[in-house]
Every structure is written in structure tokens, then in C-alpha cells.
Amino acid sequence: MSATCCTCDGRRFPPEPAIAAGLSTLPLQVLGFPEYRRAMLAAVRSHAPLAGWRARHGDDLGLMLIEWWAYVLDIVAFYDQQHTQNQYLRTATDAAMTRRITGLIGYRPRPAVAAEGLIAAIADAGPDILLPPWTAFRSEAFGSEPPQVFENDGEERLSWRTNRWTLAPLPETVSDGSAPLFEVASLRLVRGAWAVFAWGGSTAAARVVDISPVRAVDGVTYARVTTDPSVTIPAGTALSSVSVQMATATAGLNRVVAAPVTGSDVMLDAQYPQLAPGQRLLFVAGTTRDVRNISTGASAVTTVLATPRSGLSGSVPTLPVTQVTLTAALSSSMTAAATAVHFQFVRAGRIVRPARIRVQRVDLNPSAALAGTVEPLADPAPGPFLVQDRDRQSVTLEGSIAVASSGAGVLSPASSAAPFAQPLVPPIELFGNIVHIIRGETVPHEVLGSGDATVRFPSFKLKKKPLTYVPSAAAPGGRRSTLEIRVNGIRWREVDSFFGTTPGDELYIARQNEDQETFVTFWRLPSGVNNVVARYRFGAGAAKPPAGSITQAVRPVKGVKIISPVAPTGGADADRPRDIKRNAAASSLTLGRAISLADFEALARSFGVTNVTAGWAWDPRSQRAVVTLWYVPDGGDVSAALRTFLVGQADPETAVVVTAATPIPTNLLLDVVVDARFDRDAVLGALVTAMTDPETGPLAHTNVPIGGSVFRSVLLARAAGVAGVASIDGITTNGSPMPMALTAPEGQFLDFIPFTNV
């Protein structure tokens, strides 16, 4: 038998690495200096010339040579591992190599995208002011970010007439069933007077006992009227349908006749020429109160002779009195001695409720009045308007404002105007001189260099970074560059690649490296001196200044002040290596066309959203299936732009619905025991970082599933893996022990970020 017939008898060194699929690190360096030294010493006897060598002392030259080789092999193995890892997308650690690998499949990493927003200009009284294009506005520094510069796109006309308006209070329009309040300005009721309340076919009569001022929650003083008996308007009754009238005259029933009330005919105690057909009468006898109307016939109010009843003739003369015919007979309990008749009613005041202290978008439908008398407008002022409430909470509102020659103004929101994310608190201001701004500072004229017709693919680097890209649903990738290149004064066109073009075409491509430096490359340039010139904006990223921080123009514009009630939206950082690895692999499967749900998700991620999920849904209106996509924005609502982008890359017959996912605020509390050897604050800080890290944290918006579940075991495992965490005694969500899993409904996601505690 051969000594090597069994595979276990052979020795293979170094052993072949066992590399499983799906690893994030290639385990190539499995051997080091000790293993290589031991292996070479063991192999000495297999070489005949060295069979007799027995030296093993440190000062032996042969041993030193073996150890030198062991060092070399150790180092080579290390660099072999690093080099090999950077040849594969999943394991690459070098940003430049990641871009190079994805470039082989045609993936273009997303550059940084600029935020955009709206600011309000306050113009001095006088002629309209023209705000020139590319006027720069600077924010204050915020957080760790330096001031940012924004610019407007085009010329804006500013008028002092549309600077700002205040929304009139919005009173509640239906009763809530509580004691009625009266508008002080319209109140005519007095103590002791009789009043009749009427609504929806019902009436109630009561005597005014007391009137007192009340300052309501909206800051306005109203009149509270106490009556006997008390009157309550049923909840849900429209206050505009409620009328309150007060009697200003009183009469009695005739006491000299035998029967002053005969069915619906009533004889009064004197002549009352002010009575007329159709008027209201209130009959009060003890606790009985009847409200009746005089008939509308011509003979409903007549003058008759009151003939004294038997026993009174001779002592009481026969006199003319007023007799009325009512629309309905009186109660038999009404006697002449006990009944008073109240009439000649006048409007007594308007019942109101305090104005809303929380105003939602729907409360402005179909229109809302402006407060006070404002400057008339020849034509309605078009929106959008910036709206700011008492607490400096601001929103953007589409619509128009019309002001009549009398100075009465009306806001008419557009039917498509989105609901407010949070109710607004009065007083509410509206700003009309709105300027659209985009982050970035213009470099108007930068000489890139000189053309040389003998050089193929000349390339130049822009001096400023990062180049500003702005959202554009029609552009490749959903964004367009602000770069303009002119060669010999002629503007050349940017393309995504040179595929299908020729050297003579006036085209160029722009690419960014891992440091966000932009390189502009041409097929070929005509020769010239400094004939390649660029105009562009620089500045972009996800960081955005908060509301109210953009207050000045870089170069002041005479007669114009700037305020920024609404924070800029949008903006996104450039693709990180992690983003490139994920998006490049997914986008390569779309082959330029969205068909599957995975295609739509991949394209949406490349557009620049934090998280996304897609599904099929049945649309009952169109009677067909539609692609429904929910996303977590990277700042601002990009639903319309994202949908346009996706529709442009899908089958024209495919219906697409794009909606921002709704966050569900979720309070997570971890009861953690910290090892006494560790600094408690440092451990807790590391724990929060581990749970919310944008790339790996299980609670990060990037990783929390939309319409999916967050598992308790995953959170416990991640928390227990933080150095210094001795144990976890409990985990609660929203005040209750966390179940095995928390699941968000379709189109929603669990939002832990602002509420995570340890």
C-alpha cells in the first residue's frame, strides 16, 4: 500500500480557505507568522540537501532566513486579503474601489442633492420691487453646520400689498350643548326681559336673570346670559339657524269680557296699534309659556268693542280693544288675571361659540375671512402662501386671496391643498411675497482650462464642491445638475455617458469621486486658450437650516426684509459605500425598466429616500391593480416628483401611487444594568448609538420595515452586544411590556428615534 493512498496521510499547506456565500468579510488570512514558521521547519526533512540540518538556535542563519520568509508570507497574506476583498462589491471596504466595481455595471452613484424651500419677502410701501435672479440668502449656523447659502431661480416681483395678512378667528358653527354665549357687540338683552329662542322648528321662552362677561379660551370676551328656565341649544345645531328675540312691549288679556280667549281668538286689554298680522306673541301664566304667531290674514288684527260681562255693566264702560287671531289655540289655563302678553320682539343678539384654538386645513373650507380691513387688490393674489401660527409652526398653503374695494379679504384654499401635519394655533399669519430658493452658491464664470484637439477624453476638475444637483423627475436618476459648460462661448450639453455619441459631438459627462469632487470629461475639445468655461452652483446635502434661520440676503436688497417661517425640505447626502452596494446591485436588475415590485423599490432608493416598500393594490375606481409605494422621506414630501420619476421608467399602462409612510411614534424603554467597571453614561450613549445607527441600528428609519414587524429578540440581542451592558431587566413600549413583535399597519412604520430611552 502506498503511504499516500489515503487523503488524510497527505499534508496540504496552506489549506484551501473555506469561503461561504454571503460573507461581509473574506477570511483569507487564516495563517500568520507562527503557522508559516512551523510549516517550513516541518518541511525541512523532505528536502534531501537539508535532511541533516538540525540547527534550531536563534542565531542560526538558516533559522533566521525561515523566519524572514514567515514574516513576508504573513504580510503578503494580509494584503492579499485586503486586495481580494476590494474586488467584490459585498466585501469592498475602499470607497474608490466600490465606485469602480459598480461602474462596471453602469451604476452611477447618487451625488448630493440640494434642499429647497420657500421664504417670504416683506417689501417696503411704494412701487413694486424686482428681486433679481440668483439673489443669495444666507442662513444662520445651526447645530454643527456652518451657515448655508440659498439662491432664487428667477426674477420675482414683490408688492407691499401682499406682504402679510392675519386670518380672522374661526368660530365654531354648531352648538356643543353647553350654556349659550352671546357676541357682546350684538347683545340687546337686559335683565328682566323675556326672550324667545328658536331653532329648527323648536322654540323656548325664558326670562333673563343675569348677564355677565366671560373671557373664553380664544382670548375674546363674550356675554353669558342666565335665564329662568335655562335654555340649552341641542348639540349639533347650526348656530346660524338659532334666533333670539326679546320682547319690548307687554299687554294683558281683557278682564271685562266673560271670555277673552275663544279658541284662537284673543281679546287684549287695550288697543295696540303696533300689532300686525304675522307677529309673534308670548303668553306667560305662572310656569306656562306659550309662543304663538298672529295669523297672516287681513282680519287677523281687528278693533272690537269689549262688552262688560254681567255684573259689570253700568260700572264699566264699553271700550274699543285689539283682538288678534292666532295660528293655534291657546291653552285653557290662560286666564285674564294671571296671563301677560309680551310682544314687539326685536333681535336680541347672536349666539356664538369661542373661535377654534386649533385650526386644521379642513376648517378653512371653502373660504376663510381675513381679519380687519386690508389693502384692496385689483386681482386675487395667487398662492402658495406661507402660514405661521402663534407658536411659530408653519406650513405651505396653495390657494388665492381676494380683497374687495371695501377692504374685506377672503382666503380660498385650493381643493388640492394638503392637510396640515399639526393643527395651527391662532393668531395665524399668511405671507404672500413667496420666493422659491434652492441651496447652492453660484460660480458665474470659472475657467476650467484650454482645449487641445489632439487629446482624447480631456478632463477638468471644478474648484468648488460639491456640485449642486436639484430634484427633477424628468432627469435620469430623478435629479439634474446645475452645471453649464461653454466652449468658445457655445453651451455644450451634458449626457449620462458617451455611448452612442461621436468625438465631434458637443457633449460632456460629469462624475464625482468619493470626496465629491466633480470631474468634467469631453470626447474631444477644439484647441484654444482658456476656452472651457463653467457656470455652476455648489453646496448640497441632507443638512437643512431650521425654520426662521434664513433672515438675510448675502447682498442686501433695498426695501426688502426676509423671513423664513417654513424650514427647507428635501436634500440628500451623496451615496455612501453602503448605499452604493445596495442600490447598485438592485438597480442593475431593473435593466432600465421598472416591472417587478423590487424594480420600483430599487429605483425609489436611487431617487433618494430613506426607506421604501412597494406592493400591489386593487383600485376600485379604475378596476385594476396598481403599484402602491410607501416611502420614508430623506427630508420633505417628494411624492409627486418620485411618482413622475417612476412612471417615466415603467410601462405606460402601469398605474403608480406614491405616498409617504405614516410614522407611529413609539416610546421604547430599556431597563439596563451597567457593569460597575464601565462608565455608565458612556455605555448608555453607546447603546443608543447601536440601536439607532443609520446603517446598522435596528431602530433606524433605514431599517425599520414599513408595514412590518420589529422583533423583541432582535432588540435584546443588539442591546446585549454593547460592551458594558451586564443585563437587560426589561423592555417596554408605550408603557407596556413589549410583546414578541410590534407590527405596523400597511403604509405605516414604527418611529422610535425621537422617543428611545435607556
pLDDT one-digit tens code per residue, 374-397: 999 999 999 899 999 988 888 899
- Predicted confidence at residue 3, as pLDDT, reads 45
Count the Cβ atoms, other than its own, within 10 Å of residue 650: 19
Residue owning grid cell 430658493: 437
| In-domain check, residue 293 | yes
- Predicted confidence at residue 29, as pLDDT, reads 66
Same domain, 235 and 265: yes
Instruction: Give the pLDDT band of residue 584 (cuts 50, 70, 90).
Output: confident
Which residue, of 317, 352, 387, is where some domain finishes?
Answer: 352
Q: Which of 329-343, 411-425, 640-654 has the highest mean pLDDT?
A: 411-425
Residue owning grid cell 260700572: 315
Report the mean per-residue pLDDT for the chain: 87
CA distance linking residue 609 with residue 603, whole number of Å: 10
List beta partners, residue 122: 561
Greater model confidence, 89 or 404: 404
Same domain, 325 and 187: yes
- Predicted confidence at residue 268, as pLDDT, reads 92
Instruction: Give the pLDDT band of residue 481 (cuts 50, 70, 90).
Output: very high
Instruction: Give the pLDDT band of residue 487 (cuts 50, 70, 90).
Output: very high
Same domain, 194 and 280: yes
| In-domain check, residue 621 | yes
Same domain, 208 and 335: yes
Greater model confidence, 21 or 122: 122
Domain region containing 629 = 589-660
CA distance linking residue 408 with residue 395, whole number of Å: 24
Could you tell me the CA-to-CA distances from 457 to 508, 524, 534, 560 in Å, in that order?
9, 6, 17, 48
CA distance linking residue 536 with residue 440, whole number of Å: 9
Residue 675, amino acid:
D
- Using only C-alpha atoms, what is the Rg of the chain? 42
* Out of 343-347, 617-621, 693-697, least confident range: 617-621
Q: Is the pLDDT of residue 641 over 80?
A: no
Which residue, of 85, 101, 130, is where some domain finishes?
Answer: 85
What domain count does the chain have? 7
Same domain, 401 and 379: yes
| In-domain check, residue 583 | no
Q: Grid coordinates in use for 744? A: 405596523
Question: Which one, of 688, 629, 666, 663, lies nearest residue 742 by Cα?
Answer: 666
In which element (H, E) is residue 226 found? Answer: strand 221-228
% of the chain residues with pLDDT over 70: 94
Residue range 432-453, pLDDT digits in tens: 999 999 999 999 999 999 999 9
**Mean pLDDT for the stretch of residues 22-32:** 75
Q: Is the pLDDT of residue 11 over 70?
A: no
Q: Which of 78-92, 171-185, 478-492 has the highest mean pLDDT?
A: 478-492
CA distance linking residue 525 with residue 374, whole number of Å: 60
Q: Which of 76-80, 524-528, 551-555, 691-695 has the highest mean pLDDT?
A: 524-528
CA 38 to chain centre: 66
Question: Which one, of 176, 177, 197, 190, lies nearest residue 223 by Cα?
Answer: 190
Q: Is the pLDDT of residue 58 over 60?
A: yes
Same domain, 204 and 311: yes
Same domain, 655 and 703: no
Sign of the dihedral defined by the CA atoms of residues 391, 392, 396, 402, in that order: positive
The two beta strands, 301-306 and 381-382, are unpaired
Report DSSP state, residue 132: -
| In-domain check, residue 209 | yes
- Predicted confidence at residue 2, as pLDDT, reads 44
Instruction: Give the pLDDT band of residue 1 (cuts 50, 70, 90).
Output: very low
**Mean pLDDT for the stretch of residues 611-635:** 81
- Predicted confidence at residue 98, as pLDDT, reads 83
Q: Is the pLDDT of residue 597 over 90?
A: no
pTM summary value? 0.71
Q: Grid coordinates in use for 395? A: 406650513
Q: Is the pLDDT of residue 4 over 50?
A: no
- Predicted confidence at residue 313, as pLDDT, reads 60
Same domain, 604 and 676: no
- Predicted confidence at residue 95, as pLDDT, reads 82
Q: Find out whether 429 and 166 touch, Cβ atoms under 8 Å.
A: yes
Could you tell me the CA-to-CA distances from 221 to 176, 242, 347, 685, 736 in Å, in that order?
19, 21, 20, 51, 44
| In-domain check, residue 64 | yes
Residue 554, amino acid:
V
Instruction: Give the pLDDT band of residue 80 (cuts 50, 70, 90).
Output: confident
Burial of residue 210 (number of CB atoms within 10 Å: 0-12, 13-18, 19+): exposed
Same domain, 134 and 121: yes
Please tell me the chain's helix, strand, coil percentages from 3-state DSSP, rounded to the nearest 5: 15, 35, 50
Residue range 189-241, pLDDT digits in tens: 999 999 999 998 899 999 999 999 999 888 889 999 999 999 989 998 999 89
* Out of 28-32, 359-363, 369-373, 663-667, least confident range: 28-32
End-to-end CA distance of the chain: 69
| In-domain check, residue 737 | yes
Q: Find out whether 70 and 77 touch, Cβ atoms under 8 Å.
A: no
Sign of the dihedral defined by the CA atoms of residues 76, 77, 82, 84, in that order: positive
Residue owning grid cell 460639491: 466
Q: Find out whether 436 and 369 touch, Cβ atoms under 8 Å.
A: no
Same domain, 276 and 395: no
Angle made by CA atoms 731, 736, 740, in degrees to the nearest 5: 60
Same domain, 149 and 34: no
Question: Which one, of 118, 171, 114, 115, lies nearest residue 398 by Cα?
Answer: 118
Which residue, of 352, 383, 403, is where some domain finishes?
Answer: 352
Same domain, 221 and 346: yes
Q: Is the pLDDT of residue 564 over 70?
A: yes
| In-domain check, residue 97 | no
CA distance linking residue 67 with residue 47, whole number of Å: 18
Residue range 228-287, pLDDT digits in tens: 999 989 998 999 899 999 999 999 998 888 888 888 899 999 999 999 999 999 999 888
| In-domain check, residue 94 | no
Greater model confidence, 128 or 647: 128
Burial of residue 752 (number of CB atoms within 10 Å: 0-12, 13-18, 19+): buried
**Strand ranges, E, within 391-433:** 394-397, 399-403, 409-413, 429-431
Strand 656-660: give its sheet, edge to edge: 611-619, 624-632, 656-660
Q: Find out whether 477 and 471 touch, Cβ atoms under 8 Å.
A: no
Greater model confidence, 612 or 2: 612
Sign of the dihedral defined by the CA atoms of residues 724, 726, 727, 728, in that order: negative
CA distance linking residue 159 with residue 161, whole number of Å: 5
